[in-house]
Structure 1
Amino acid sequence: MKAVIIDDYGSAEQLKYTEVDQPELKDNDVLIEVVATSVNPVDWKIREGYLKEMIPYNFPVILGLDAAGIVKEVGQNVTAFKVGDKVFSRPDITRNGTYAEYVAVDESLVAKKPVHLSFEEAASIPLVGLTSWQCLVDFANIKEGDRVLIHAGAGGVGSFAIQLAKAFGAWVATTCSTKNVDFVKSLGADKVIDYESEDFTQVLQDIDIVFDTLAGDIQTQSYDVLKEEGILVSIAGQPDQELAKAKKVKAGYVFLEPDGEQLAKIGELIEQGKIRANVGTVMKLEEIQEAHRLSETHHAKGKIVLRVG
């Protein structure tokens, strides 16, 4: 099958579109013929070697953590899916990746694709959807009426998180650049802070939940807008627990765990029209180097999706 591999850590030049063996199917696996996948910042962080202490890989490695496609084969223990089902998934990060014509995934990490979404739209959802769910629902226990600040609302995770928070009945503020103000408003944001001309710490207070996607100074400053016993949840870096204690807030770092049941719940919200996919750029799998370079700019709006085959 055709796939994109890396033989070593390094720049986007390491990404090679080539021929590899089809993945081995285990008893609990479904084999997905990948119609579309997407690029996430974690992909190039893995490629650069930033996560090699956390996730040891044996080269060659196929990257990619989003898949939307059609079930072509099922393992002997699989009961939830059959050949021909249209599905989407965020596979196990330690197994074969999704920059490929086929990916084998444990059935517990797979969900039926929302009917009205294209494969390209569906491929944009799993990682950002599950990340948002596990941060806002599992960690922060978001509820109706909560005041939520989501940093970088125009990005892949941010644009999904805004919609998820609104689906739970929260009031949502977000930060973005001038050019993306209208975009995040269209997602339902109640308050938009243009970071090019405004300081979010000067216009917000009494926030229940801060969703940090940036770390650094932005994360530190976010403590100042939280109410006592508020929650700071980050996907960008471990929050300062001493500062959290001093500010009397709960703070933590979340690293995504794939979950097919949660993905199915996200699919239900999409089917109900409460969340829409945000595909910013569509490219071919062969254009993977260019796609990674775009992701590395941190200025891609919505998701970068790759058509496979």
Structure 2
Amino acid sequence: MSHKTMKAFTFKRYGKSPELGFDDVDYPSVNADEILVKVYAAGLNPIDNMILTGIFKPVMHFKLPATLGSDLSGVVIAVGSGVTRFTPGDEIFASIFDTGTGSLAEFAVVPEKAAAIKPANLDFVQAASLPMVSLTSWQALKERAKIQMGQKVFIPAGSGGIGTLAIQLAKHFGATVGTTTSTANVGWMHQLGADEVVDYKKQPFENVLSGYDIVLGTIRGDAIEKSTQILKPGGKIVSLVGPLDVAFARARGLNFFLRFVFGLMSRKIMRLSKKRGLTYSFLFVRPDGDQLNHIGKLIEAEQIKPTIDKVFPFSEAKNALAYLAEGHAKGKVVVNMQE
């Protein structure tokens, strides 16, 4: 019997030279609660590049070489014996973040509970752009920050992949939204729904904005520390980019040493937050098909629209990651597997 393989885009090690490239890997087999999907498109996220650095090595367990990518859309071609929600031929979208496997491959195994039927009004590329950013926004705003009508939410870097989606979702939840962007995108941010738009080339946001309830941490560096200045007492910072904190280490069941390390990493922001009566937490998205279903309905009702910046063919996956790493994408970067 011949050994069946498929093409996947993998990395071989962490650090400066991850050796990104195409590999022939074993064709996946499905467990009882999984579906096998022919991947039509894969959405990229900044965390894909962060994983390569090794920052999440203690937290996420990849067998190297490992397939990169978390977001996908495609067609179900087989289902596990226990699967009830999907049948072969279904068009789905999903995040398989943190499941130990990746989406930049010809086929992917998806836990049944992580998948949702693709919104009817989107093509595969649009659908693949959504899972990570929409789930992250939903979990950060609704679950973690418990967003209320009329609250003020600051979403920096509004024109990026997460920003374009989070602004729309925060508006859907009835919030007033502030964001930062460069001069050229100010009008577009207002069109997306932002109420207060700060041109970061002209002035620091912390000099302009005040009285905020929630900050979404979307950019690395000192922006998160500065954002403590615009929050009112009782305000919440939910960061998607770190620093990692002790609560996160505990929730992941990590050892004492890692709790200590993450405690050191987040010491400064914790101190600042405490001084101002704020709460800080780090959020790691979890795949969730039910939430995706909900988001899909908002998409079909045109309450939320995906924003695609650039689409690359599968053969140019490496260039797509490099383009994303430059940090200038307006909306999402997607790899189209079906050229």
Q: TM-score if structure 2 supplies the norm length?
A: 0.88
Matched-pair contact (CA < 8 Å) for 1:12–1:292: no
Residue 191 in structure 1 maps to residue 169 in structure 2 = no
Output the aligned Cα RMSD: 1.4
1:269-288 equivalences in 2 (<5 Å)? 269-288=298-317
Q: Which runs of 5+ in 1 are unaligned?
A: none
1:121-160 equivalences in 2 (<5 Å)? 121-160=126-165
Matched-pair contact (CA < 8 Å) for 1:92–1:105: no
Deviates more, 1:116-125 or 1:180-189: 180-189
Deviates more, 1:287-296 or 1:71-80: 287-296
Residue 16 in structure 1 maps to residue 45 in structure 2 = no
Deviates more, 1:284-293 or 1:9-18: 9-18
Deviates more, 1:171-180 or 1:77-86: 171-180
Matched-pair contact (CA < 8 Å) for 2:18–2:52: no
1:180 aligned to 172, 178, 185, which one? 185
Write the distance in 2 (CA, Å) between the matches of 1:148 and 1:53.
Answer: 32
Q: Which amino acid aligns with 2:153?
A: V
C-alpha displacement of 1:216: 2.9
Write the distance in 1 (CA, Å) between the matches of 2:117 and 2:7.
Answer: 24
C-alpha displacement of 1:132: 0.6
Cα gap change, 1:241 to 1:48, in 2 (>3 Å):
closer
C-alpha displacement of 1:91: 1.0
What secondary structure is seen at the aligned counterpart in 2 of 1:160?
helix
Q: Which amino acid aligns with 1:89?
A: A
Instruction: State percent identity of aligned pairs.
Output: 41
C-alpha displacement of 1:179: 2.4
Residue 308 in structure 1 maps to residue 313 in structure 2 = no
Deviates more, 1:116-125 or 1:84-93: 84-93
Q: Size of the alignment, in residue pairs?
A: 309
Matched-pair contact (CA < 8 Å) for 2:206–2:226: yes
Q: Which amino acid aligns with 1:263?
A: L
2:287 aligned to 231, 238, 258, which one? 258
2:239 aligned to 234, 242, 247, which one? 234
Q: Indicate the residue corresponding to 1:60 in structure 2.
A: 65
Q: Indicate the residue corresponding to 2:113 in structure 1.
A: 108
1:2 aligned to 3, 7, 18, which one? 7
Deviates more, 1:45-54 or 1:31-40: 45-54
Write the distance in 1 (CA, Å) between the matches of 2:23 and 2:17.
Answer: 15
Q: Indicate the residue corresponding to 1:211 in structure 2.
A: 216
C-alpha displacement of 1:95: 2.2
C-alpha displacement of 1:12: 7.3
Q: Indicate the residue corresponding to 1:170 in structure 2.
A: 175
Write the distance in 2 (CA, Å) between the matches of 1:276 and 1:68.
Answer: 16
Matched-pair contact (CA < 8 Å) for 1:12–1:293: no
Per-residue Cα deviation, 1:99-131 (whole angstroms, up to 9, x for no partner): 011101110000111110110000000001111
Deviates more, 1:120-129 or 1:265-274: 265-274
Deviates more, 1:230-239 or 1:273-282: 230-239
Write the distance in 1 (CA, Å) between the matches of 2:105 and 2:175.
Answer: 38
Per-residue Cα deviation, 1:176-202 (whole angstroms, up to 9, x for no partner): 112222332221111110100022112
Q: Indicate the residue corresponding to 2:318 in structure 1.
A: 289
Write the distance in 2 (CA, Å) between the matches of 1:38 and 1:98.
Answer: 8
Cα gap change, 1:12 to 1:4, in 2 (>3 Å):
farther
C-alpha displacement of 1:79: 0.3
What secondary structure is seen at the aligned counterpart in 1 of 2:60?
coil
What secondary structure is seen at the aligned counterpart in 2 of 1:20?
strand
Residue 225 in structure 1 maps to residue 230 in structure 2 = yes
What secondary structure is seen at the aligned counterpart in 1 of 2:134?
helix
Residue 35 in structure 1 maps to residue 64 in structure 2 = no
Cα gap change, 1:263 to 1:16, in 2 (>3 Å):
same
Cα gap change, 1:177 to 1:61, in 2 (>3 Å):
same
Q: Indicate the residue corresponding to 2:260 in structure 1.
A: none
What secondary structure is seen at the aligned counterpart in 1 of 2:26?
coil
C-alpha displacement of 1:11: 5.1
Residue 46 in structure 1 maps to residue 51 in structure 2 = yes
Q: Which amino acid aligns with 1:106?
A: P
C-alpha displacement of 1:242: 2.1
